């Protein structure tokens, strides 16, 4: 699931038609898909945005992003 949601977010961040909101849209879709699948993540307010920027600018990979998301999973 984390690889898939990282792929969705990366694609939206890089290829969304509205260039002024692509990173926010990517974050919203990511949170929505995780929530639909019953996955909660806990992260610093700016961390998700920083990750999306890094992936969109090819500073980090989708697999790195997926691993970070997995590490942020809340334990119930």
Per-residue confidence (pLDDT) for residue 25, from 0 to 100: 87
| pLDDT tens track for 24-65 | 889 899 999 999 999 988 887 789 989 999 998 899 999 999
- Cα 28 to Cα 5, 22, 31, 32, 48: the distances in Å are 11, 10, 5, 6, 11
For residue 33, the 8-state DSSP code is H
Q: Do residues 29 and 71 make contact, with C-beta atoms less than 8 angstroms apart? A: no
Q: What is the pTM of this model?
A: 0.85
Please tell me the distance from the alpha carbon of residue 36 to that of residue 15, in angstroms, as a whole number: 23
**For range 65-73, the mean pLDDT:** 94
- Of 8-12, 50-54, 63-67, 71-75, least confident by mean pLDDT is 71-75
Sorted by where each begins, the domain ranges of the chain are 2-71
């Amino acid at each position: 699931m984390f690889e898939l949601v990282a792929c969705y977010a990366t694609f939206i961040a890089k290829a969304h038609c509205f260039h002024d909101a692509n990173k926010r849209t990517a974050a919203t879709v990511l949170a929505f898909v995780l929530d639909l699948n019953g996955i909660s993540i806990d992260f610093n307010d700016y961390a998700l945005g920083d990750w999306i920027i890094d992936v969109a600018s090819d500073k980090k990979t989708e697999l790195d992003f997926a691993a970070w998301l997995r590490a942020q999973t809340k334990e119930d």
